[in-house]
């Protein structure tokens, strides 16, 4: 069998089945350990459908910590876990409110 990401031949002994807990699952896609490690570092919910990553937007606009974190939570809201979507937006709002307070305090 071959890795669905890189095409590398995979031994039955090192197979990790995507979406399944065992290696004896028939008719599923398999991913090698190298690609699996990359997926855990840079998972699909970090990317848009067109492949743009949140980090690309943050760097393109040279956002500060508060702006970047708010944008990150907004763009990823509900992508990793649908049940945390509202919480993600609340976290984004917290960072926006914190940024506003810092700007207001700088005016004093």
Looking at the structure, tell me whether residues 79 and 101 fall in a common domain.
yes
Looking at the structure, tell me whether residues 34 and 65 fall in a common domain.
no
Looking at the structure, tell me whether residues 95 and 74 fall in a common domain.
yes
Q: Residue 51 sits in which domain range?
A: 46-107
Residue 27: the pLDDT is: 52
Token reading at 43? 């998972």
Looking at the structure, tell me whether residues 56 and 99 fall in a common domain.
yes
Looking at the structure, tell me whether residues 66 and 16 fall in a common domain.
no
Looking at the structure, tell me whether residues 56 and 4 fall in a common domain.
no
Rounded mean pLDDT for each run of 10 residues along the chain, 108 residues in total: 69 46 50 63 71 86 96 90 92 98 95
């Amino acid at each position: 069998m071959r890795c669905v990401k890189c095409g590398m031949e995979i031994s039955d002994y090192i197979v990790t089945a995507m979406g399944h807990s065992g290696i004896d699952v028939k008719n599923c896609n398999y991913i090698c350990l190298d690609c699996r490690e990359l997926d855990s570092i840079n998972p699909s919910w970090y990317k848009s459908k067109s492949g743009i990553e949140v980090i690309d937007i943050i760097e393109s606009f040279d956002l500060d910590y508060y702006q970047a974190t708010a944008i990150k939570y907004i763009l990823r809201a509900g992508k990793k876990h649908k049940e945390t979507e509202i919480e993600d937006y609340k976290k984004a709002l917290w960072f926006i409110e914190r940024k506003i307070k810092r700007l207001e305090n700088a005016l004093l």
